[in-house]
Structure 1
Amino acid sequence: MLISIFTLLLGFVVLIAGGELLVRGAVRIAERAGMSQLLIGLTIVGFGTSAPELVASVEAARAGSPGIAWGNVVGSNLANSLLILGAASLILPMVVPRGPLWRDGGLALIATIVLWYVASTSGATMLFGSALLVVLLGYLGYAYWAERTQPVGATALHEKAESLEETDTHLHDQEPVWRSALILLAGIIMIVLGGRWLVEGAVDLARLIGMSEAVIGLTVIAIGTSLPEMVTSVIAAYKGASAVALGNVLGSNIFNLLLIGGVTAVIAPGSIPTEITNYGLPLLIATSVLLMIFAASGRRITRWEGAILLAAYFGQLIYNVVAV
């Protein structure tokens, strides 16, 4: 068991560090190539910060463990919406712009409902996964157009980009391209290795302690791969940038559902475990509705509402371990 735990923890550390290097290297190369910060935010940063979840799910799907793959998708969104937003709102009550809330939050809610319906009926087919990826491309195109024509209402992905670039690019404005390329390559290698070790450790641990792979994905894997979003949102809240914290969560939720869910369905089509269909997805739908109610009432998430979100997360975490 100790070897499984060590492999799991090593995978977490390498995966998170690799994701950080991937974003840093890609953003610097893109800027040197003349890409705008908006385009970088909509593509490279949005993809890079979701890379840990993506690689973990892909490795799990390839290893024949769809429970971990889909549990990671649903569990990461639960962690984003309950744990991360709850913690950020406790630090500073979160002001919610109505545009991004209904556009980005609404898209995530609709995608979750569709995924639950498909999971309950036909299962995740390759066609369904392809459709999710097409919707993601459409969303990115619309978000880019909306940013160019309506600059006041920043989208979730753009806000996430600003928070990450702000702490990085000013330190290395003149960095050589070859060094940025090496950083990018190191990040890719670390993500691949970290994702593989993470899944291997999780599968072995699940078998040893008798916990289902879906529950491992909903809890351990989901929390670990959500650490980049956790750090970004908490720092943003501490600095008083509540819109960045909210945008980080909404953007990550969309990427998790459309990108990671789409790729997982394409690579490993088939039925989704009952723990996800009967418990994880209905809970995520209820969480998304609750979050939008909190945000719409007074256009802010208060500290006591943040405390409710945190309590709900730890409550479902205990239920996952004990009952599911």
Structure 2
Amino acid sequence: MFLTIILFSLGLVLIVKGGDLFIDSSINVAKISNLPEILIGATIVSLATTAPEAIVSITASLRNYTQMSVGNSIGSIVCNTGLILGVSNFIKPSKVKGKFTKLKSLMLIVFFAIFFIISNDRMINHSDAMILLVLLSIYILFDLLVINYKKSSSINNEVTYMKKDLIKILFLFLIGITGIFIGSNLLISNGIIIAKFIGVPEAVISLTFIALGTSLPELTTALTALRKGHSSLSVGNIIGANILNISLVLGAAGFLNPLEITNQNIYLDFPVAFIMILILGLSCILKGRINKIIGFLLFAIYISYLIFLYYLYF
């Protein structure tokens, strides 16, 4: 068991470090394409920070650990919203500027509501997954339209790179994605062993430890933004990451292999995630900010959820 814990921890380290390299190289690629910085944060970074969740859930689905696929995705949404946004906005409240983030907040609420409805038959089958992937296409199209609009209406200094810099960026990109792949397999294999050893379902491990591990890139991004005085940037990143967890992560995993939805998902995990999303989304849409009270409320829901899970299985 000691070796299992070591390998599980190694998987987390590889995912975090691989995710870090992946994020940095993705941002550099975006800069090469001359995208405005605010758009990089709101779109490219969200996609990059969601890569660990996507790879873990897709790998789990291919290996028939479908409860882990669902648990990792929903657990990441709960962790992103309750822990990361909750704590960061309790420390320093965020203002949500512009219609772009508010529209994404509305999309997040609608997307999760659609997912909630199609999962009520206790299965995300091929057809359901196609619906989620269509939602992903809508989200990507929305982002592309906004990017084109922002590029045409903003002045942006072109960033130039030498050939050796481009090779380095590509190399770090490949190293990062490789680290995430290897770490994902270590995390899943040893997470299953740990779950069986302590007598809890694989879904619970994925809802807590694995979800926290794959959400560390979002946590790193939020803390960095907070330290540099740009706390509002992390809000757009988390909203985008949550949308991708629903549409990309669950859509791709369900397309490859039908995902089993448990009673715990329907009556506990999904409602908790939806309540958090509603609080976050409505705060952005109606008030245009996330204050300390909202931050504390999101964090309190997250802690209460973990405590409930603990007493449910121990």
Q: Same fold (TM over 0.5)?
A: yes
Aligned to 2:174: 185
Mind listing any 5+ residue stretches in structure 2 that lack a counterpart?
none
Are 2:25 and 1:36 aligned?
no
How far does the alpha carbon of each residue in 1:150-177 deviate from its partner, in whole angstroms, 9 at most, with x for none?
67999xxxxxxxxxxxxxx99x954532
Separation of aligned partners in 1, 2:99 and 2:153: 6
Name the SS for the 2:261 alignment partner. Answer: coil
> Which residue of structure 2 lines up, in the alignment, with residue 163 of structure 1?
none
CA distance in structure 1 between the partners assigned to 2:273 and 2:98 by the alignment: 21
Corresponding residue to 1:319 among 289, 302, 308: 308
Deviation of the 1:57 alpha carbon: 0.7
Alignment pair present for 1:283 and 2:272: yes
- Judge which range, 265-274 or 97-106, deviates more: 97-106
How far apart are the structure 2 equivalents of 1:176 and 1:22?
Answer: 15
| Structure 1 residues 254-265: aligned runs within 5 Å | 254-265=243-254
Partners of 2:62 and 2:149 in 1: CA distance: 41
1:125 maps to 125
How far has the Cα of 1:300 moved from its partner? Answer: 2.1
Amino acid at match of 1:36: L
Please give the alpha-carbon distance, in whole angstroms, between the structure 2 residues aligned to 1:153 and 1:132: 32
Q: Which of residues 291, 300, 311 is equivalent to 1:302? A: 291
- My pick for the range that moved more, 202-211 or 263-272, is 263-272
Q: What whole-Å deviation, never above 9, does each CA across 1:173-204 have from its counterpart, x for those lacking one?
A: 54532222221221121111000001111111
Q: 1-side partners of 2:133 and 2:100: how far apart?
A: 21
User: The residue matched to 2:229 in structure 1 has which SS?
Assistant: coil
Residue identity over aligned pairs, in percent, reads 28
Contact 2:42 2:240 in 1 (8 A): no
Check conservation: 1:17, 1:190, Cα contact below 8 A: yes
1:164 aligns with none
Q: Which residue does 1:7 correspond to in 2?
A: 7
Question: Secondary structure at the residue paired with 1:240?
Answer: coil
Task: Tell me which moved more, 173-182 or 309-318.
Answer: 173-182
Task: Give the equivalent residue in structure 2 for 1:50.
Answer: 50
Residue segments in structure 1 that go unaligned for 5+ positions in a row = 155-168
Question: Which one is further off, 136-145 or 38-47?
Answer: 38-47
- Does the 8 A contact of 2:46 with 2:237 survive in 1? no
User: What's the secondary structure of 1:60's corresponding residue?
Assistant: helix
Question: Take 1:145 and 1:211, find their aligned partners in 2: how far apart are those partners?
Answer: 45
Answer yes or no: is the 8 Å Cα contact 2:115–2:132 preserved in 1. no
- What is the DSSP-based 3-state SS (H/G/I as helix, E as strand, rest coil) of the residue aligned with 2:46? helix
> Is 1:213 aligned to 2:202, yes or no?
yes
Write out per-residue CA displacement over residues 211-248 of structure 1, whole angstroms, 9 at most, x where no aligned residue: 11111111111111111111111221232213201101
Further displaced range: 313-322 or 177-186 = 177-186
- Which of residues 202, 205, 226 in structure 2 aligns to 1:237? 226
